Structure 1
Amino acid sequence: MPPYALLDNPVRRYAWGSPTAIPALTGTAPDGTPQAELWMGAHPSAPSRVGGRPLDELIAADPDGLLGPDTVRRFGPALPFLFKVLAADRALSLQVHPSRAQAEAGYADEEARGIPRDSPRRVYQDRSHKPELLCALGEFEALCGFRPAAGTARLLDALGVLAPWAALLRDRPAAEALPVLLRRALACGPAELATVTEAVTRAAASGGPYAEACAAYARVAGQYPGDAGLAAALLLNHVRLTAGQALYLDSGVPHAYLRGTGVELMANSDNVLRCGLTAKHVDIDGLTAVTSFRTGPPRILTPEPGTLEFPSPAAEFRLSLVRPGDHPVRVERPAPQILLCVAGRALLRAPGHPDLALPPGASAYLRPGAGPVELTGPGAELFRATTGR
């Protein structure tokens, strides 16, 4: 493979996806169906293609050449990250990802019990953890992490619902109260959920201090009527991002993306434990075992000056912005990387190789190599995904 190659990326068509956002980015015509995620990488369930061949097969045939010996030494002969464009018109399921140790134990347990990989009750698809980072491309809403206990108690008081929950949050440490309340939330019956739905709908229209968060909860209730995930959502921080702001989600952090378009970078794993807003299997015992019950406001990230890199502790990935401006940018290639153009038109150039143009929505795979690649494109903006330091 030359130093860079254009990627042909699959689109995942989940029901919550936007029918227009990904086509608008890629310059293609909408076909009326939801286009939820554009996958860039070598995940075996939906790999990108290079010259008609799946990227995972190309890597398997030449891991040192396409990943570099250092990446193979650190992560094995597979691309350690998965890069996506995510476009949500409605809420994704409330979910938590396991730590590496939890994933290894869970995978071994399900294998030993003979649970088929395609079973709806299967949780662990691999042995990996799944930290992830999402950067908004525009207005983006999410739920992320447990709100401080006192704040949730005040919210419930203002709504006039679930008074025993508020009392528990005041009387016991959050680390003791929240596991109890998460279980209660997922066991809520129709009558209690109807009361909560009515309360958040009223609060959303009130213009009061909780109106914005309650508008999100009410919207979720309308999208998933009777789903106990609504009660669980009340325990979480409501977050609004603007373009260029990001969230890092470590193992154990409950979260749900509600609406908007963003780029998402994660470890190359598909391990998800769901806690509501879904018709899929919810394993309450397994969920509470991997959930982190730490509380606090979410940390909203912006790219660090100079590097334009989003801070992240993940070993598997690193996300940064590249803006060529009026002068070419040298893209060093110590590790495999994917460049995604989101604005303008970028041009990749290396001596002895044809130039590669990247219009908005196009992406390229850059294999490790000794020499740099030159990137030009006044007005262009690209996201760069590569391995962590």
Structure 2
Amino acid sequence: MFVGITNTPRDYAWGSAGEISALLGTSPTGKPEAELWLGAHPGSPSVILDPATTGDAGDLHEWIQRDGEQVLGAGVERLPFLLKVLAAGAPLSLQAHPTPEQAAAGFARENAAGIPLTASNRNYKDGSAKPELILAVSDTFEALCGFRAMAETRASIERLVELDAASGAPTPALLAEWLAFARADSDLRAMFEWLISAAPPVPKLVERVTALAEADSASEEFALVRKLAGFYPGDPGVLISLMLNHVTLAKGEALFLPAGNIHAYLRGLGIELMASSDNVMRGGLTPKHVDVPELVSVLDFSASPVPYLRAEPLGEGAQAFRPPVRDFQLIEVNEAAKVQLPSAAIVLCAVGEFMVDSGEHAVTLTRGESIFITADEGAVSIRGTGQLFVASTQ
């Protein structure tokens, strides 16, 4: 069964000025356009275009709650993935997501404590993990993702100390202490906890480092410090950014961000696919709640390279992005493909026009249109020209 779905972009403050509507050819909302959710998460479930086709269910969450076996197949209780169009006009918060075990325990713990789901200090909105991938749709997509080696961070701090010495002013004690951390081969966790403690002197250190970054205007590395400080002056996340991999994706490149990976999207338009969850532990670059002990408990402090996710070709006209989790895969179709669907699926046409045909059902999708496909279809043939995305499990 094919069911037409839609939604309205969420208007988080960091969203873009109309980039989602421009991509999909829809009317601008007049508000920041941050994320368009296509899925059944109760936070913003997809709206069903013709409720008569689903027995008057108005959205995917309601339909699945009522007719789950018919929609998802026997033994499947929830749609395990969430597809988003994401447009960052400003940096998102530094954040990480829990493992399945951490999410289940944290959700139960906060429920037992009576913390409302809508409370600003709530960490766990559900009991699920939230691994995710991001595929760049704009010409470039900028992000921070994962810790880099301590030696690289140490080199950055040493450069700051050199700039400070050249200024003729005494080196602030906190800057010297930060360098001592790095030279003592302290682990990344110790340095991170020291910076994010946000003790009264830390904003002063942020201000000093920002001033040094502005003095070294030719440095690409310190350009990020200047940028972040412009959005979040005094925030410890400005300093933490120097501990992280900074990557600019070209259009068509993707990242996979597993549980525990600290990351922040900085600027760009992308297709995001994740396990269906809204569990976010924030770590700076935000006015929102930051629970340092909970964040530290979920973070992976291993130094790691940029977590690129390479595409697997599917013939001449399509490719698949398959991360090492079963919850989701993203298939991009540009011309034609035969796609096996191991589960219910969501299809979004971003550019051009495509025919989607299961043998029993067929529909033509044009730019900005999307459908939900029930689990009983099994496979679809896709023909057209442009850019179409299929989200399903693996």
TM-score by length of 2: 0.88
Q: Percent identity?
A: 43
Query: 2:95: which partner in 1?
Result: 95
- Give the counterpart of 2:232 among 215, 224, 238: 224
Counterpart of 1:33 in 2: which secondary structure?
A: coil
Residues 273, 287 of structure 1: 8 Å contact kept: yes
**Following superposition of structure 1 onto structure 2, how do residues 339-350 of structure 1 map, counting pairs within 5 Å?**
339-350=347-358
Q: Deviations over 1:86-125 (max 9, x none)?
A: 0011001111111111112222221222222221111111
Amino acid at match of 1:82: L
In structure 2, what residue type is equivalent to 1:46? S
C-alpha deviation, 1:330, in angstroms: 2.8
Displacement, 1:13? 0.6
Pairing partner for 1:26 from 5, 12, 24? 24
CA shift digits 1:333-359 (9 cap, x unpaired)? 331111112221112234454x42222
For the residue of structure 2 that corresponds to 1:234, the secondary structure is helix
**RMSD over equivalenced CA pairs, Å:** 2.0
Q: Hey, what does 1:202 align to over in structure 2?
A: 215
Gap regions ≥5 residues in structure 2 = 52-57, 165-174
The answer to whether the aligner puts 1:8 opposite 2:6 as a matched pair is yes
1:215-260 Cα distance to aligned partner (Å, 9 max, x none): 2221111112222221222211111101111111111111110010
Matched, 1:240 2:248: yes
- SS of match in other structure, 2:211: helix
CA drift of 1:199 comes to 2.0
2:323 — aligned with what?
312
Distance in 2, Cα, partners of 1:188 & 1:38: 39
Alignment check: 8 A CA contact 2:94 2:263 kept: yes
Normalised to the residue count of structure 1, the TM-score between the two structures is: 0.89
Q: 3-state SS of the aligned residue for 1:248?
A: strand
Shift of 1:155: 0.9
Contact 1:142 1:238 in 2 (8 A): yes
Aligned to 1:270: 278
CA contact (8 A) 1:340 1:382 kept: yes
1:130-149 aligned within 5 A: 130-138=130-138, 139-149=140-150
Residues 1:124 and 2:130 aligned together: no
268-277 vs 310-319, which moves further:
310-319
Q: Which residue pairs with 1:366 in the alignment?
A: 373
1:380 aligned onto 2:391: no
- Cα separation, partners in 2 of 1:188 and 1:345, compared to 1, 3 Å: farther
Task: Please name the residue that 1:39 is paired with.
Answer: 37
Quote the offset at 1:383 in angstroms.
1.6
Aligned positions of 1:265-304 closer than 5 A: 265-304=273-312
Is 1:63 equivalent to 2:65 in the alignment? no
**Cα distance, 1:369 vs structure 2:** 2.3
Q: Which amino acid aligns with 2:13?
A: A
Post-superposition shift, 1:182? 4.3
Q: Secondary structure at the match of 1:288?
A: helix
2:158 paired with 1:152:
no
SS in 2 for 1:143: strand
Task: Determine if contact 1:132/1:267 at 8 Å carries over to the other structure.
Answer: yes
Query: Structure 1: 5+ residue runs without aligned partners?
Result: none
Provide the C-alpha distance between the structure 1 equivalents of 2:327 and 2:200, rounded to a whole number of angstroms.
Answer: 36
| Cα deviation code 1:130-178 (max 9, x no counterpart) | 1111111021001111111000000111122734323322322535544
Q: Which among 173, 177, 183 is matched to residue 170 of structure 1?
A: 183
Rounded to whole Å, the distance in 1 between the matches of 2:188 and 2:206 is: 24
Residues 342 and 375 of structure 2 are in contact (CA less than 8 Å); yes or no, is this contact kept in structure 1?
A: yes
Question: What is the aligned residue count?
Answer: 371
